[in-house]
Amino acid sequence: MVKIKSVSIAAKPKIARSHNETMDPGGAERESSNNALHSGEKTSSLPPRISRLGAIGAFYNWSTWIFIMVMIFSQFLGVAWNTVETHQYVIKGKDPSLGPVTLDGSFNGEPFMDRAVACVGEGRYYKPVQLTEAVSTASGYLQVVDTTGTSINGYRLIQRQGLTMTSAARDVYSDVCALIATTMDSIFDACTELGYNVTQDNLRVVDGLDSSTTYLIHDSLPVVILPLTDNAQESRFAIPGWDGHACMFRLMGKYLDKTKSLGIFRGVNRAIREAKTVEWLARPGGNWKNGWYEDQQAEKWHTDVISTGQKSIYGISQRQFDTMKRKEIDCINTEDCRDLPVVEDWGAKFSTTDQALAINSIFISNGNNKGLFLYELRQHRIIKSIYDWETLISNTSLMLLLVRWMLAMYALQRGYLLGESKWYNAGLGSLASSRSFNMLPIVLLPRLKITLSAFWSVGCAFGGDQKALSEAWFVVYPAILELMLLQFSLLNIISKILRRRIPDAPFGPSVILFCILHWLRMEFADRGTFGITENVTPLLTSTEFEELRLVDFFTTKAPFKLNGNVSGLIAIKLVVLGLNFVPLLLMKTSTTSLSRSPDDGDIGKATGIEKALAVRVCKIGGLGRSVTDEYADDDSSQAAAVADTSKKNDGAAASNRMEVNSYELVRLGYLVYGGKYLLSFEDWEGLALMAPFHRFYYLWNNRVALFTLRDEREQQPDGSSLDIKAVSEKPHMCRLDDPKLEQISCWDIIGRPIK
């Protein structure tokens, strides 16, 4: 028979320390309360007070459980609610009235040579060519116009080498060049309306901040494309003027999305743009040469200012033209000048739609990290995610697993409150023997590609199409949880194979750290943390992501590309994932006195609980560490507490040892049901699910396996006696409509120690 021990008042035994007491996950029991544990008499006294550490542990575990449940449930709502709408206000930089300042990493709008693009004729079409390539002597496009610095009708660019145009960017710029070529006359007309006298033959550029050489690029459109960031889809555009000025403008609508019907030109009146530049720089008396303002100290400044609001506090309101119809749009009396929604897709399941409500953009720089920068945006964003069957399987399995975790915490703490057990906290390790937890790597496999993609996007505020994934918080945060649960499930399996017990403590901090990293992604972009300047540029397109295979995450650099090659974030993620494996390497193989030979007496024999549950408790590895063996001995047998290290005390320890504490019982997957039976979690779930129907409908073929408990009294070697409960080593089967089961509430479950 298996025996569950409770101490009578007459015996007054003490629970001494075990050989592995340092493994106690609760760490919260008080020595003064141990005498009263497992008492067979029911009293009205309150249970022993929980230590502060134990209370903190309980709060931590319940908080972790609630956070995970909320995240998983928020994703589960995607079955019927797959869009999230938000209003955003973004501001970067400083008020331009403060004058020029040192520009930090938040500014990334310099007109670099290798970033700028020209539209060069090739047959009947125009193709995009990087300016570094166009001005090379081998290009065949180049003509030197001036080397003395007297020419002022080019556009000055800052020397930089090393950037390569991506295939995705080339496709975008090809479409832009083609549409510019067909609407060139409309663009000329718009620049004229703004007050500029622009060149209309070929593009002229000056190749350096202090260069005096002006180049003409043959067979080119007189427009230079200035992407906002490297290989970015969004750009500003400039056409050099004959008088040293340059028409700065934005092209939107059909230029960014071929499906749109409007070709939109946006710019600011020349007089306003140039007056505001001089005012904010507080450097009057200069001249405009090669599109830049040169002050009296011979310092050069490029400038691009625009505001979509007609009542802008900065006085730089835009004018808008339709290049398809060659007419100006009334921005004062109508709302036709509002930004068109920008839709960006990431694969087939994620998309964002951004509707800008107001934009103030001021870029003035001398090319040496000094100038003015302000970007202010108010926008309405719609994030959409398609809920698929892989997500449904993942959410369902995780929610069932969380129910199991909740029951473990409930049973252990209820057992303590009823005086049947010491205080134990149930972390993730309480799921170590759950089939659902051990099968998690297989269950989450269909969704693993999305999970890994979301994880590697953590901490990055992306621009471009990957924004559709990184901004979908109801995808990213659950993905963090899924990946961490997947990792700890694998750790649990490996540690079981190696017969090692490892702590589950790193789980919560790992989840919290990654969630904080993603929560602060905009702060990282604003402050230049990890070398991030503005939004992170996606290195994989939506199409390339769709073509990724799961194996590519482990054999290629795809994870690093999904992380935007931000080395600081990559290092943090790899270090945290690696640290979670360290306990597996440090812990030794689990062995106890039960592994000794039968020649040592009763120590080598399988105990009752091991026979009943068909497990060898001393060799159960996996997550979760506790006082696996508890001892109860009187004042004259203190040495029994170290029975595994001292053979002379083996007999005393064997007679008084509680073989499995309440934490280990729950971890093995069993509960004490109604104070009368030992029941597995799986059988309890069947009872609980059928409880609402037992009054009017039964599933007659359903059975549960019960280990019956009964009261007995055991005489101890010192003459004292203990009130115990004997448990049958073999279970018996009961139908769900058995009268003795119907008398018990399905919530009448506890965890308690078993001998």
Count of H helices and E strands in the chain? 23, 32
Q: Are 750 and 421 in contact (CB under 8 A)?
A: yes
Tell me what pLDDT residue 439 has: 92
The better pLDDT of the pair 411, 721 is held by 411
Neighbour-count burial of 177, counting CB atoms closer than 10 A to its CB (0-12 exposed, 13-18 middle, 19+ buried): buried
Tell me what pLDDT residue 618 has: 57
Indicate the pLDDT class of residue 57, thresholds 50, 70 and 90.
Answer: confident
pLDDT digits (tens, 9 = 90+) for 3-24: 444 333 333 333 333 333 333 4
The better pLDDT of the pair 33, 444 is held by 444
Indicate the pLDDT class of residue 426, thresholds 50, 70 and 90.
Answer: confident
The better pLDDT of the pair 280, 26 is held by 280
What's the half-sphere exposure (Cβ side, CA atoms, 13 Å) at 679? 28
Provide the CA 132 distance to its chain's centre, in angstroms. Answer: 39
pLDDT (average), residues 55-63: 89
Tally Cβ neighbours within 10 Å of residue 53: 12
CA–CA separation, 667 and 427 (whole Å): 10
Question: Any idea where the domains of the chain sit in the sequence?
Answer: 2-40+597-750, 64-81+392-586, 109-300+316-334
323 pLDDT more than 50 = yes
Tell me what pLDDT residue 371 has: 92
CA–CA separation, 481 and 375 (whole Å): 34
Q: Are 527 and 105 in contact (CB under 8 A)?
A: yes
Query: What's the pTM?
Result: 0.75
- Residue 243, both tokens: 């008088």
Tally Cβ neighbours within 10 Å of residue 301: 23
Most confident of 34-38, 339-343, 488-492, 535-539: 488-492
Tell me what pLDDT residue 452 has: 95
pLDDT digits (tens, 9 = 90+) for 188-209: 999 999 999 999 999 999 999 9
Tell me what pLDDT residue 590 has: 59
Tell me what pLDDT residue 630 has: 45
* Residue 377 β-bridge partners: 90, 359
Most confident of 107-121, 235-249, 589-603: 235-249
Q: Report the chain's mean pLDDT, rounded to a whole number.
A: 81
Instruction: Name the nearest CA neighbour of 414 among 424, 405, 404.
Output: 424
pLDDT digits (tens, 9 = 90+) for 514-569: 999 999 998 888 777 887 767 788 888 888 899 999 999 999 999 999 998 999 99
pLDDT (average), residues 411-415: 90
pLDDT digits (tens, 9 = 90+) for 353-372: 988 888 999 999 998 889 99
Tally Cβ neighbours within 10 Å of residue 599: 7
